[in-house]
């Protein structure tokens, strides 16, 4: 038992739901206050709420493994619907938030209604997915359990005596913290990517928004010249020539590099947390033991899940550093940004997939799908706290 039961997911889900839905509501009814600064706050709430869905989703991976295996078919159906609806909403909200952050002012205006429609659809999916989760708890008893040796009248667990147990009692399982930190890394990386693209799009303001005035004639040039023999008199053209008036505004400051550095630092701390989980389980901090246990590929497979998980985690530390350098010294290198951004997105997707496989299917098995269940055993996989969960429900 822990101080927070059953996990942090029940807390984290309220931030994207509350902030995102409030900002979306204000923006939808913005026709009531077109010139009010509250719209700026609403758009920031939509952006932050959309990105906050990532750590909420990664905490949900742990929560799903923490619910146990004694589920009714109705409860499994509800959880399956919850996972699908919230996963789709998270993906759409994140990608649309990154587009809104990265796009130039002109493109943001052109696609305002489209983006607002996508955000509204995401809000509907979130509400529907939350309904399935709530119904699974209140009608099917999912994730509801009492402390050992207590009754319904006394459910307050006793605090452990051991120092390590005391820490985990208040912080929760280290694996859970590791997953939430990974989701925060993903959110920061996507925000940083949007800012890096914004550094490029901000340099190209739309021509239709530049103040235009007729270019006046220079006083040193005569309006009419004396014609040569056989030529018609030449007059200055009365058609005005339009040109930008005054100097262009200064390039806006976009702190993409700083966000990349923060994302890399958080990824490093997340990796250190993963190493601490392994060391705590194995009661040793020796790196050679870690290498032999995780990286030596004892499973006999061509690619071991745990080893690939480590290497992808290292790439999520290095890639933000590379992108931070590009943002600082080569902010307009579109091709380089595109290549490393694509690698970053692939690394995030791979890490999410590997995290799901490691949580529900163990260290051994294919890298892209669940291992086929044994004919002589039930289709279940070990999960956190000794609990199990049917892979068919994921």
DSSP output for 206-271: -GGGS-EEEPPPPTTS-SB-PPPTT----B---SPPEEE-SPPPPPPP--HHHHHHHHHHHHHHHH
- What CA dihedral angle connects 62, 64, 70 and 72, to 10 degrees? 170
* Per-residue pLDDT at 327 exceeds 80: yes
Q: What is the DSSP letter of 283?
A: T
Question: Is the model more confident about 360 or about 153?
Answer: 360
- What is the chain's Cα-based Rg? 28
For 98-134, write each residue's pLDDT tens digit. 999 999 888 888 999 999 999 999 999 999 999 999 9
Least confident of 182-186, 229-233, 314-318: 229-233
207 vs 122: CA distance, rounded Å: 33
pTM of the model: 0.79
Rounded to the nearest integer, the mean pLDDT of the chain is 80
Q: Could you tell me which residues are beta bridge partners of residue 381?
A: 389
228: left (phi over 0), alpha (psi -120 to 50) or beta: beta
For 27-76, write each residue's pLDDT tens digit. 999 888 877 888 889 999 999 999 999 999 999 999 998 887 778 899 99
Mean pLDDT over 182-205 rounds to 89
Mean pLDDT over 251-259 rounds to 80
For 83-94, write each residue's pLDDT tens digit. 999 999 999 999
User: What per-residue confidence (pLDDT) applies to 21?
Assistant: 94
* Per-residue pLDDT at 253 exceeds 80: no
**What would the two tokens of residue 114 be?**
């489209």
Neighbours of 23 (CB within 10 A): 24
Least confident of 243-252, 261-270, 327-336: 243-252
């Amino acid at each position: 038992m822990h101080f927070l039961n059953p996990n942090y997911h029940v807390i984290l889900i309220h931030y994207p739901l509350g902030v995102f839905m409030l900002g979306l509501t204000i923006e939808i009814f913005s026709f009531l206050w077109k010139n009010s600064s509250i719209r700026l706050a609403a758009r920031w709430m939509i952006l932050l709420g959309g990105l906050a869905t990532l750590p909420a989703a990664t905490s949900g991976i742990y929560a799903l493994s923490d619910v146990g295996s004694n589920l009714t078919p109705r409860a499994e159906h509800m959880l399956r619907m919850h996972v699908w609806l919230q996963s789709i909403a998270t993906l759409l909200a994140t990608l649309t938030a990154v587009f809104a952050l990265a796009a130039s002012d002109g493109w943001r205006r052109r696609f305002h209604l489209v983006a607002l429609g996508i955000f509204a659809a995401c809000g509907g999916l979130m509400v529907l997915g939350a309904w399935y989760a709530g119904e699974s708890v209140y009608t099917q008893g999912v994730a509801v359990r009492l402390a050992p040796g207590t009754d319904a009248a006394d459910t307050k667990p006793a605090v452990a005596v051991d120092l390590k147990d005391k820490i985990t009692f208040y912080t929760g399982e280290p694996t859970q913290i590791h997953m939430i930190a990974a989701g925060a890394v993903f959110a920061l990386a996507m925000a940083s990517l949007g800012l890096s693209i914004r550094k490029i799009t901000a340099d190209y303001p739309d021509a239709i928004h530049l103040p235009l005035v007729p270019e006046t004639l220079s006083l040193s040039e005569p309006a009419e010249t004396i014609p040569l023999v056989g030529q018609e008199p030449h007059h200055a053209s009365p058609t005005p020539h339009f040109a930008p008036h005054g100097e262009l505004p200064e390039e806006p400051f976009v702190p993409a590099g700083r966000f990349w550095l923060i994302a890399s630092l958080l990824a490093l701390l997340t990796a250190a947390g993963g190493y601490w989980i392994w060391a705590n389980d194995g009661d040793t901090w020796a790196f050679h033991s870690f290498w032999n246990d995780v990286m030596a590929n004892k499973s006999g497979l061509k690619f071991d899940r745990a080893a690939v998980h480590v290497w992808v985690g290292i790439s999520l530390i290095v890639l933000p550093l590379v992108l931070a350098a590009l943002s600082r010294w080569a902010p307009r290198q579109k091709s380089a940004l595109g290549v490393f951004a694509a690698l970053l997105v692939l690394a995030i997707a791979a890490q999410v997939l590997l995290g799901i496989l490691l949580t529900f299917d163990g260290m051994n098995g294919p890298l892209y799908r669940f291992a086929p269940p044994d004919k002589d055993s039930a289709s279940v996989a070990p999960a956190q706290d000794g609990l199990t969960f049917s892979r068919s429900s994921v």
